[in-house]
Every structure is written in structure tokens, then in C-alpha cells.
Structure 1
Amino acid sequence: MATQILKRSLLTRSYTPSRTQNLCFMFSTSPPPQDAPPTTTKISSAVSVLTHHRSKSRWSYLRSLWPDGFSPAEFFQIVIRIRNNAHLALRFFDFTRRHSLCEHNLESYAAIIHVLSRARLKGQACSLIKEAMRVSPVSEPVRVFEVLVKTYRQCDSAPFVFDLLIDSCLEVKKIDGAVEIARLLMSRGISPKVGTCNALIKCVSRFRGVLAGYEIYRELFGLGYAEAAENAKRVVRVRPNVQTFSTLMICFYRDGALDRVKELWNEMQNCSCAPNAYSYSMLMAVYCEEGEMVEAERVWNKMRTDGVEADLVAYNTIIGGFCKAGDVERAEEFFAEMESSGVECTCTTVEHLISGYCKIGDLDAAMLLYKDMHRKNFIPGELTIDAIVKGLCKKGRVHEALDIMKEAQGNLCLSPKLTSYVVLLRGLCEEGKMEDALKLQAEMVGRGFQPNLQVYSAFVDGYMKRGNSEMAERLRKEMQDAQVDGFSDTVRRWKPLMEINDTET
């Protein structure tokens, strides 16, 4: 429907003056400005050479006939006459640029962009649109839009060109220009394609915040603007699809607005938009985050009842939720179902299970899974290493935890978290291995982590167990001073303590 409206708006020639002004976006529909009237004979001859000469000879023949090249107006007329052969038009454009045979302006760019768009050559068209936005200081997105509108009828173009213009603006982060173009289209009764709307919503949410993305969503799809719509021209709008809602749900989820995810789910249902596995996964993730595993499993069962096949994201979501809740046995059941369904697990799947076993204190099972990760060439993340280190230290297996962390630093090139250093230091100090603890603390400082209250307390307790009350008292006093200063200048403070310790030992 949008395509038919746009073609009626831009291709019909029998307009009244007011109708012309409204449907052509309030821009002139006259031919592009010309530096000099194009020579009909020259244009016809060039078209004949392009269409009838062999591909190997046509380019040298063109250069021999017109060594001074073509004006932008001449190029425009040549291109629209060969518009049904988009690849030939593009080669001609590249030929004129390569041999400096035309000083291209926005109008000549518009001609080749229209030809490529109507041929659905998206990549090439977008590339030239981005170039067109750089050809002169005033070639901002809206200016390119104006020229494309002005040349639309002559080039017998397709509405797809304006979607490509919005996509290109988003690729080069000209978000305001993309929004303005979308509004200009809608003000004249045209809506961008739903895929373009989704891309615009996603980009605005990313760079302007999810609330701004949500407002654009409501504007693009005509939601909550009844009063404005009553005073404006009727817009033939596309309907949001499942990707639209999934885009917004993931943005709100990452922003921590879990209730808004549920609201969008209900809104999607009200729009009679069938959810897919990803949108089901988003709703499950919300309930998993809230610890409502009964509700999460209810969503899982509804997904299966509705005939939607669970994918990797869905399995990882429900497995991760049960592991976080400490119900690793139920997570293992879903893991077994996942494998029997032919869905291959990923590093994330195993990491969820490792974290779950660490949470319930089953370090042997966690270590078996950790070794299995190595066999599968999975690389664990810092959070997984941190969970294992914490779990092992809690069980008194400090040196085993230290080996795991060193392996992560060496073979896996991972940077340990501060919490990993803290639990290891506490464990070493509890065992009275102060020299090892000092070396690890020096490494921690070298990685940019400052000793905190927990680190000071661990060393104080460690020295007290060794009977070194003098060192413990010095550290206790330093800890009090550091609390006042906010633990600043820690490297300067700790270096003398290490030297004193070396002297005493």
C-alpha cells in the first residue's frame, strides 16, 4: 500500500498546483538545475555507444569522442536513458570518476542512486548515498533527500530509495537526519518500511536512550498521537512486527526496566503479533532476573504449546535462570533436553552450569565442567573464573584457586576481577602465607586495583596469626588513615611495608 501511495504521489503528472506541493514533499519537481543545456546529439550518441558497443571498446571510444567529458546535466540525462541496465549505469558512473570526466554534483549522484535503488542494488546505492552526503559542505541528509525527491519522477524511481537514505544516515550515525527524513515522509502520507522503522528505533535507543527509542516507535507506528493525526494528513502506516517489539524489549531489559518489557509483551499480544523464540526468551529472562522461575517455566511451556521451537537463546535463558536460583538439578534437566533436541551448547551454557554448581558449593562438579570447557576449546569469561576462585577459596582450596587464576591470566589472557584477588588474599593470609599474599597484592596493584578495607583486614588478621603484632598494628593504623583518605596513594603506602617485611624475614 505504501508503495502505491508513493508512486501515485510522485509519478502522477496531472496535479493541481496545491496537490503537487503537498504530495511532492513541498519541494520543486522541476528538472535538476543545469550549468548548460545538454546536447541532445551528444547524449544520444553516448547512450548508443554504451548500449551497442562491445564492453572492451566502449570506454576507450567514449574517451576518444569526448575527451573533455560530460557535464553533470549530461550525465544525468545519459543515466536515466540507460536506467533499465543498472550495472551498466554504475560502470559508466565509475568510468567518469576514474578518468575525471565529470564533476559530479548532488543531481548526478541522485540519478545513479535512483537507478541502483529501483534495481534493488542496496549495497551500491547506500555507498553512493553516503558519498553524496559528503560531496559538498551543504550535503546534509535532508539536502540529499530534497534532491532525491526533485529527481524522483524523471528517474522513474522507487520508494525504496528513501528507506536506503534513512539506512545510510544510520550507518554514518546521522541519527537526527534519519529521524527528520522519516518525519518528512510521514508528513506527506508515506511510512518507511517496517525494517527501516526497526533500524531507526534500534539506533535511537542505542545512542539517545531507550525512552527516546520508544517515543520514535510510537511516532512511526502512529500510537498515542490521535490529536496530532486528526490535524495532519492521513498516513498509510506499516504495522509493527515481532522484530519491532523484540528490539524494544531487549533495550528495556538492558536498561533494567523489567516492567516495561512485560508491558511491551502485552502490547505485542494486543497487536495480534505472534511472538518468536527470541521474544519468548526475553520474557523468560525478565522472570529469571526476578527469580520467578515458576513464571519463567510457564512462559517456556506456552512457547512449546504455541508450536515455537526452543532455540539456543531460549535454552541458555532458562538454564541460566535455574542456575542463578540454585536449582542446578532442574537446569541439568533442560541441558539434557537441549542436547537430545540437537541444539549444541555454547560456552555460555557451560558457564551457567559452572556458576550454578559454585553457588550450591559443589566444586567437584564445577571443576569437571571447567575441564570439559577446555576439551571443547571454550574460553570462560572473567565472571566464571571469579565464581570458581571464590568457590575454591571458600572450601579452603586456595592454591588450587590460585592456579586457576594464573592459568586464566597466562593461557586464556583473561584479567582477574578485584573480587578474585580479594578472596585469594584472604585465603593466603588465613593460611599464614604472608609472603605469597604480598606478591599477589603487588600484582593486584600493578593491574590497577587499589587495596580496599577487605584487603587491609586480611593482612591485619594474617600478621596477628603469625604473632607479628607490630606489623598488624601499623597496618591497622594505615587502614584507618586510608579510610579517611578514601584509600588513595596505595602504591606508595604498600611498597615500604613489603620492604619492611622482606627485612624482617
Structure 2
Amino acid sequence: MPFCGGRLSTKLLNITISCLCKAKQLSKAESAIIDGIRLGVLPDAVTYNTVIDFYCRFATIDIAHSVLGRMRDAGIPPNVVSYNSLISGAVRKGLLSKSLELFDEMLERGVAPDAWSYNILMHCLFKLGKPDQANRVFRDIVLRGQVSAATYNVMITGLCKNGYVSNALNLFRNLRRHGFVPQVLTYNALVNGLCKARRLTAAKKVLREFADSGFEPNEITYTTVMKCCFRCGMFEQGLEILSEMRCLGFTFDGFAYCTVIAAMIKTGRMREADEIVEMMVSSGVRPDLVSYNTLINLYCRQGRLDEALKLLDEIEEEGLVCDQYTHAIIIDGLCRAGDFSGAERHLNYMNTLGFGYNLVALNCMLDGLGKAGHIDHAVKLFEVMEVKDSFSYTILVHNLCRARRFLFASKVLTSCLKCGCKVLRATQRAVIDGLRSIGFTNEVRKVKSRIRLARLAS
């Protein structure tokens, strides 16, 4: 039975290729294909598709695409799986135009797309900000009868991310009419979209329907709604959801706790933040770097710098590596404590660690110096900063106004607008009102003119 034996050998070859690719040993996988051919064990479409998928993930799309030529040379026509791997790989790498080209190539080669091909295409069009084209593809899929639960999930997620939350909600309502029962992923996508649009009432209604549908909302669902509550200033409702999650026995991760702690810090509710920290520690959650950064931020805002610095040692003991944000928080804490020399030393220490330019940390120093009344020092720092963003300009202009140096503030504001950066409207008004208060009416007209030009150009 040579045919059966050959088929089994090809299957064994495919298993070998798959294992080698998973181990990221592609050179050995390629050698295995060559050795197989020498032994009379011919690769099939599965063999080459495995290699294509690997190249898409760990190399370039062009290298992966070149495998199609090898398939044709071997008399194996590329199939829909081959192109799906290439198209999805291009989307993952952000090569959206390339993915559309590959889809067109698939059609030109006579390879019929399947439901997954269309789902990837819709996802790509949504990412390109072309919801109308994605909707046309969706209608074609429905007419062909190729629609699946995954298709609805892509459509709902894409509509929400492109600002068409009402359309996503209407589609969700019509799901059952098309014979589909919404899945957990569907509910999560819609709840997330509604929350990002700050439609909290609708999100909570969908959440109740979710619970009544026989499915159980998971941690992602609850955390999304909880975060929306905090973002909308509904802190008590957010804490109620936290309590409900605990009652339902959900296992909290660091992200959920950090969401609550960060909200408490932003609103100055330090006592509640401390209580959540104690809750996190007592629950045995192993902190990740985000958790540590949140805790360091809390301690710095409370003036507990010694405890914040101790956490740096704990981070290293846990085998984690501090990022730029960690050090920026420390620098901000030192500035809040008035220790600008210490902040500068820590900034130099960051440079020795190889972090390079840290705009966030420099903005923290700029703001700290301004608030402490060291406006001349702040101006000198601003002038030597290699890179400045809108926050840099806003911070300096705001603090110049606080120091009643309105004419200088107007010059900084004007230079900011000329280079295309933006300053908060409240800060712009502070400059104009300040100039009026000291009688510089001509300068007021110049600043207003520059602001109008900047708005027209944006």
C-alpha cells in the first residue's frame, strides 16, 4: 500500500514541520521538507501553509508570500488557507493596504474566499476607517449565506470602534432574527463599545440582558463597565460593581484592582485607594508592573516617597524591570515633595540605565518647578528640552500665567501654535484675560488671530 504509506508519511512530515515551527526552528523545518522530498515523501498544501503561517508571525509578509511560488512550482495550488494566513498576518503587522492587495490577488487567482476571509477583510476595512465598505462586504456575506457568529462579532466591534454604536446596538437586537444567539464575545464587544461612547445606561441594560440570557458575564465585562463608571464620575456605582464581582466569586487580576485604585487617585480619594490596595494584597494577587506603577503613584501622591522607593527594590526582587513610566512617577513624586535636585539626579540615573530621552519625566519636572514658583528655572528647562509636546507648552504657559507673566506666556503660546501643537482652551483664555488685565490689547488681538489661524489649519 505505497499510497497509504505515502499519505501517512506526509502526515508525519506535517507534524514534524508544525513542531519545528512552534519551536521557532524554521531552518530545521525547511531542511525537513527538503529531506522529505529526497526520500520521496512529498509535502502537501498543509506543509506549506504551516510554513506560511510561521513566516507571517515571525518574519515578513513578503517572505511568507514567496512560499506561494514554491507551492506552484511543486504543483500544489495555494488555497484559501494560504491566503487567509497572509491576509491576517498583514493585518497583524499593520499592513492594511497589503492585506487588501492579497485579497484581490486571491480573487484573481480563482481562490474562492470563505467566511474567515471575509471576516478578515471586514476587520481590515474597519481599521482603515472605511465602515461603509465593511458594511457592503457584510451584506454580501449575508446574501451568500456565509455569515457566522464571528462575522457579527467583527461587525459589532468595528461599528463601535468607528463611532457607529447605535448601528451596532441595532444589529445586536436583530441577531436572533437571523437565527444566531449572541455569545459572550458579542456581549463584551457591545458593552465595551457602549462604555467607550459613555452610554452607561445602555451598557448596564445590555449587561442585565447578558445575565438573563443564560450566559455569565466574565471579568472583562464587569471590569469594562466598572471602568466606564469611573470615567463618567459615577464612583459609587463603580464600587458597587466591584462589590458585585467579589460576591459572584470572580478572581480579580491586577488590572481590575488598578482600574479602581487609579480612579480613586485621580479624584483624590486616597483613603479608599488605600483600602483597595489592602484588599488586593489580602486576596493574594501577584502584582505585575502596572500594579506596581499604580501603587508607586499612590504613595508618591500621598508623600510616602520612602515606601514608593522601596517598591523599586521589590519590583527587581519579583524579576520585573521598571519602565520609563515607573521612573517618571518617581520623578513626579520628588517634584511634588520639592526635591528638585533629587528629581534631576533620578533623571540622570535613568540615562545611565539606557532609557534615553523621557519627555513625560521632563514634563513632570517642568510642572513641579512652575507650581513651586521656580518659574525662571522652569523656563530654562523648557528651553533646553530637545523635544516638546502639547503638554510641555500647556504646562509652561499655564505656570507663566500663574506667575502673572502674561506677555511671555503669549509668546510661548504663539510659538506653540506656529509649530502645530495645541494648548488647552482654558489656558488660552487665561493668557487673553491676563493680557487684558495689564492693558496689552494689541497683543490680545495678535493672540486671537493666531488661535483662529491654528483652528482653520487643523
Pair in the same fold by TM > 0.5: yes
- Runs (4+) of structure 1 exceeding 6 A deviation are 57-60, 88-93, 128-136, 425-429
In structure 1, give the amino acid aligned to 2:114.
I
Give 1:288-327 correspondences, 5 Å limit. Answer: 288-327=265-304
TM-score by length of 1: 0.56
Q: Is the 8 A contact 2:397 2:413 kept in 1?
A: yes
**Mapped partners of 2:205, 2:278: distance in 1:** 33
Asked if residue 274 in structure 1 is aligned to residue 254 in structure 2, the reply is no
Instruction: Say how many residue pairs are matched.
Output: 348
**Mapped partners of 1:145, 1:195: distance in 2:** 20
**Mapped partners of 1:380, 1:308: distance in 2:** 32
Task: Report the equivalent of 1:123.
Answer: 120
Q: Is the 8 A contact 1:296 1:318 kept in 2?
A: no
Q: Is the 8 A contact 1:288 1:318 kept in 2?
A: no
Task: Report the equivalent of 2:143.
Answer: 147
**Mapped partners of 2:108, 2:278: distance in 1:** 61
Task: Report the equivalent of 1:389.
Answer: 369
Post-superposition CA distance 1:101-157 (Å, at most 9, x none): 79xxxxxxxx8433x37xxx9636855999998679x9485x457436xx36xxxx8
**Mapped partners of 1:492, 1:163: distance in 2:** 47
Gaps of 5+ in 2: 1-70, 87-101, 418-427, 450-458
Change in 2 beyond 3 A, CA 1:380/1:373: farther
Task: Report the equivalent of 1:19.
Answer: none
**Mapped partners of 1:93, 1:239: distance in 2:** 37
Task: Report the equivalent of 2:445.
Answer: 489
In structure 1, give the amino acid aligned to 2:273.
A
**Mapped partners of 1:133, 1:401: distance in 2:** 46
Gaps of 5+ in 1: 1-53, 61-84, 103-110, 224-234, 430-436, 457-474, 494-505
From 378, 381, 391, the equivalent of 1:404 is: 381
Q: Is the 8 A contact 1:291 1:321 kept in 2?
A: no
Q: Is the 8 A contact 2:192 2:225 kept in 1?
A: yes
The structural deviation recorded for 1:161 is: 4.3
Change in 2 beyond 3 A, CA 1:128/1:58: farther
**Mapped partners of 1:335, 1:290: distance in 2:** 25
Asked if residue 420 in structure 1 is aligned to residue 396 in structure 2, the reply is yes
**Mapped partners of 2:377, 2:131: distance in 1:** 59
**Structure having the higher Rg:** 1
Give 1:311-390 correspondences, 5 Å limit. Answer: 311-375=288-352, 376-381=355-360, 383-390=363-370
Task: Report the equivalent of 1:250.
Answer: 227
**Mapped partners of 1:414, 1:127: distance in 2:** 31
Task: Report the equivalent of 2:216.
Answer: 239
Post-superposition CA distance 1:367-425 (Å, at most 9, x none): 2223334442252337514323325x63x5x54332211122xx123343445245457
The structural deviation recorded for 1:196 is: 3.0
Q: Is the 8 A contact 1:250 1:282 kept in 2?
A: yes
Post-superposition CA distance 1:167-210 (Å, at most 9, x none): 45456655444333322234677533323322222223223634
Asked if residue 478 in structure 1 is aligned to residue 447 in structure 2, the reply is no
Structure with more contact order per residue of length (Cα contacts < 8 Å, sep ≥ 6): 1
Secondary structure in 2 aligned to 1:386? helix
Post-superposition CA distance 1:264-306 (Å, at most 9, x none): 2122223332211100111222333344444433332332332
The structural deviation recorded for 1:257 is: 2.4
Q: Is the 8 A contact 2:156 2:172 kept in 1?
A: yes
In structure 1, give the amino acid aligned to 2:172.
A
Change in 2 beyond 3 A, CA 1:122/1:277: farther
Give 1:187-266 correspondences, 5 Å limit. Answer: 190-207=180-197, 209-219=199-209, 221-222=210-211, 235=213, 237-266=214-243
Secondary structure in 1 aligned to 2:439? helix
Asked if residue 98 in structure 1 is aligned to residue 108 in structure 2, the reply is yes
Q: Is the 8 A contact 1:425 1:441 kept in 2?
A: no
Asked if residue 113 in structure 1 is aligned to residue 103 in structure 2, the reply is no
RMSD: 4.5
**Mapped partners of 1:183, 1:251: distance in 2:** 22
**Mapped partners of 1:160, 1:441: distance in 2:** 54
**Mapped partners of 2:181, 2:226: distance in 1:** 23
Q: Is the 8 A contact 2:369 2:378 kept in 1?
A: yes
**Mapped partners of 2:258, 2:137: distance in 1:** 40
**Mapped partners of 1:412, 1:185: distance in 2:** 50
Q: Is the 8 A contact 1:390 1:420 kept in 2?
A: yes
Q: Is the 8 A contact 2:83 2:106 kept in 1?
A: no
**Mapped partners of 1:265, 1:359: distance in 2:** 31
Post-superposition CA distance 1:21-68 (Å, at most 9, x none): xxxxxxxxxxxxxxxxxxxxxxxxxxxxxxxxx9559899xxxxxxxx
Secondary structure in 2 aligned to 1:240? coil
TM-score by length of 2: 0.61
Task: Report the equivalent of 2:416.
Answer: 447
Post-superposition CA distance 1:300-328 (Å, at most 9, x none): 23323323210122111121122222332
**Mapped partners of 2:446, 2:275: distance in 1:** 52
Q: Is the 8 A contact 1:166 1:196 kept in 2?
A: yes
Q: Is the 8 A contact 1:366 1:388 kept in 2?
A: no
**Mapped partners of 1:374, 1:88: distance in 2:** 46
The structural deviation recorded for 1:239 is: 1.5
